[in-house]
Structures are given as C-alpha cells and as structure tokens.
Amino acid sequence: MSGAIGENLAIDVRGLRKSFDGVPAVRGVSLKVERGEIFGFLGPNGSGKTTTIRMICGLLTPDDGNGTCLGYDLIGEAQLIKEEIGYMTQRFTLYEDLSVRENLDFIAHMYGVPRRREVVDAGLEELGLTHRQGQLAGTLSGGWKQRLALAACLIHSPRLLLLDEPTAGVDPKARREFWDQIHELASKGVTVLVSTHYMDEAEHCGKLAYIVAGELLAEGPPQEIVRKSGLITWLVTGPGIWELSKTLAKLPGVANVAAFGASLHVSGYDEDALNESLKPYMGEQYNFQFTQPGLEDVFISLIKRSEPKGEA
C-alpha cells in the first residue's frame, strides 16, 4: 500500500541506474535504510552520491531500478516523497537578502505549515538561532548558515533528512555541533541519510555505504566493513618515513600506504605476500607492529582495487 508503514525501512531501493549524455553516473545501486537510522553515504567527489540521493528523493527519475522511500513508490509517487523529506544541499540555497526569520517563514509558508509563527519560533529556538533571527542570511558565517539550512529542512517536520555534504566548508566546532543536532533528531525517530567524504564523520553513522564511480563497493556498520575487508595493516614508525612510504607502495602485496602523522599504515590482502615484502625493512631503523585497519585504510584500498589497471 502506498505510504503504508510496511516493514521498518525508510529507504528500500534496488538497481538504481542513471546516465548523463551516455556516461553512467550510478550503476545499479541498492540501499536499505531503517527508520530512525543515521546512514552514511560515502565516496570521493564525483562518485555518484548526489545523483543517487536525488533519485531517492524524487528529484531525478532513474533510467532503471525501482523501490520505495517512506513507503512511497520511487517513480509513481515522487511528489509525495518530496513532501515528507528535508533535503539539505552542500551549497547554501536560501535567500541571502532575507533575514533568518524571513527565510524560515517563507519556507514554512511554501509547505503550508499551520500555526506558522509558532513553528518558526520553535525552529529558531531549537537550532540556537533566536538571537540572530533579524540578521540577513548572507552575513552569516558558514557554521550559522549551516544551522539555518538545517532549520529550514526541519520546518515542515519531515520523516527523512537527506543531507548532501552538509559540513563542507565549516570549522570543526560547527561540525561537532551539527552532528550533535543530527543525533538528537535521530533519537526522536527522524531517519538521516548523509553523504560525506570525511572519514571521521563516518564514525557517527550506524551504517555506511561506500560508492565509487557509481558502484556500491561496501555496506554495513563501520566495524563490520573493516572486519569483512580482509585487510592486513602494519603500523610503521621511524626516520624518513615519507620517503619510505614511496618505496613500500611499490612492493608486491602492498595494497595501500597512508601517512598518519609521524607513522604509516601499510596494508595488503595477502598476509604472507605483504610480510615477505616488508621483511627487509623490519629492523633497528624502523618499528613495525600490527594494527587494526581504519575505515580510511579500507576505503582507499577499495578505490584502488576498483581502478582500471594502469590508472593513477
């Protein structure tokens, strides 16, 4: 039944495909997102994250594939989906020559929100914007613009938030405060699908999906993705570590070398081949010890494995 609660899924899409001018942007992506979940959608720039999100929320029609969002059919009931989601783009799209309050009042009017003044007052209070309600939106800093954009997304009480690179260009404190707000919303039953390329933000998500060149390469809880990756990682410290990284990256069995401060993470999938290649460098000059691979190790390795041979 359209709009029915059904199973406990906010998003259930299968085989989504989209091409532009004959160039594939999304290649058969399938996603299941539970209601009230914070689901991270990760991948490098240009990987197809935004295109997938726009198909899910009814702004783009898939070339192929099907599914539901909030119980509504992705293609036949796209307008109903739009009415129950909040979509926050990575670019600030509100009116810069209107005040904070005027922007929220306009958005509430567009959605036909009843008791508009009360709802706007509550939105200003919830996002800490009350003392800035008279300030022109164009004069806000990046962090305050982010808060205003989130308040605008929430003004009609959506059941699903789609956040596309929401913390791009804001300082670490604003990012932390933003994620606190997202966790608060999720605790109240709002489902959140957030796209990002910041690995540290992935830790805030209950589940992740990683997309590269339009293809879904991994999905699941962060710890499960790391465990299932099969990646073996050494932590290496010592002098001249950067020069060493260039040498190690060329060795057989080495899938990825990444610098972390004054140390290296050297990873591979074949433990015997990796250890054999690294053995000549294990001595007094460098310290090698096994470590748990991080999400960044896993995702960089996934990208490299998905690249055509010979591609940098």
Mean pLDDT in residue range 144-172: 89
- Enumerate helices (H) and strands (E) in the chain, giving the number of each: 11, 14
Indicate the average pLDDT of the chain: 90
β-partners of residue 66 are: 14
Strand order across the 64-69 sheet: 23-34, 9-20, 64-69, 72-73
Section 176-194 average pLDDT = 92
β-pairing verdict for 232-237 and 287-291: antiparallel
Instruction: Read off the pLDDT of residues 36-86 as tens digits, 9 standing for 90 and up.
Output: 999 999 988 888 998 999 999 989 999 999 999 999 999 999 999 999 999
CA distance 237 to 245: 11
Question: Which domains are delineated in the chain?
Answer: 9-225 (3.40.50.300), 226-306 (3.30.70.250)
pLDDT at 308 over 80: no
SS3 content of the chain, % helix, strand, coil (to 5): 35, 30, 35
Percent of the chain with pLDDT over 90: 72
**In this model, does residue 130 exceed pLDDT 50?**
yes
The pLDDT of residue 304? 82
CA end-to-end span of the chain, whole Å?
A: 49
Classify strands 23-34 and 9-20 as parallel, antiparallel or unpaired. antiparallel
Find the length of the chain: 312
